[in-house]
Amino acid sequence: MVLPIVKYGHAILRKKGASIGKIDGEIIRLIRNMLDTMKANQGVGLAAQQVGHALQLAVVDVRGVSDRPSRLHWEGEDVDPGSHMPLVLINPVIRPLGEPASGPEGCLSFPEIYADIPRAPSVEVHALDENGKAFEFGCGGLLARAVQHEYDHLQGILFIDRMTRSTKQGLKEELEELQAAARAGID
Ligand SMILES: [Zn+2]
């Protein structure tokens, strides 16, 4: 089921997600719906907050993007990132590695807003999958950017928080419009 996406201006996007204990039927249903919602919106990632749940849960899928490469290191080898997509990340912990570099980024909660955001070029991830099994991987390129973006969402951090002051200033009108729409309940 495709869920409505919460847009900028709604308080839930600023909530840190609660750690998930038991992966029950409700969580499994939420994961399925988040995967449907990410796909329907051609998203690279989606966090639980973006569909109205402050939980440590995000999904990522870079298969739809061909012009920005990703790297995935899984169980000791470099593998085709597509072979492990979509990724379900429950209670993820990440370790960004390397000097942050700027690259273009968007967010489903900020329609039509894109900006350069500095992110570490690679990241190590520890998480639980949808079966509650712990797993880990290393990644780079677009996948590393997506993981860091989604991890931020789970802490209540948004990509506008990582923009330079001048970039954010340049988007002031668009951001105010989004906030006004959220306040009016018309998004
Ligand atoms: Zn986002």
pLDDT at residue 19, rounded to an integer: 98
- SS (HEC) of 36-105: HHHHHCCCCEEEHHHHCCCECEEEECCCCCCCCCEEEEECCEEECHHHHCCEEEEEEEEEEECCCEEEEE
Cα distance between residue 107 and residue 41, in whole Å: 11
Q: Which tokens hold the place of 72?
A: 């995935």
What is the percentage of the chain residues whose pLDDT exceeds 90? Answer: 96
Ion ligand 1 neighbours, Cβ < 5 Å? 107
What is the whole-number distance in angstroms between the Cα of residue 166 and the centre of ligand 1?
A: 20
pLDDT tens digits, 84-133: 999 999 999 999 999 999 999 999 999 999 999 999 999 999 999 999 99
Has 150 been annotated as catalytic?
yes
CB atoms within 10 A of CB 155: 14
Q: Per the residue annotation, which of 75, 77, 124, 150 is the catalytic one?
A: 150
Confidence of residue 42 (pLDDT cuts 50, 70, 90): very high
Other Cβ atoms closer than 10 A to 91: 18
Contact 130, 90 (CB under 8 A): yes
d(CA 89, CA 60): 8
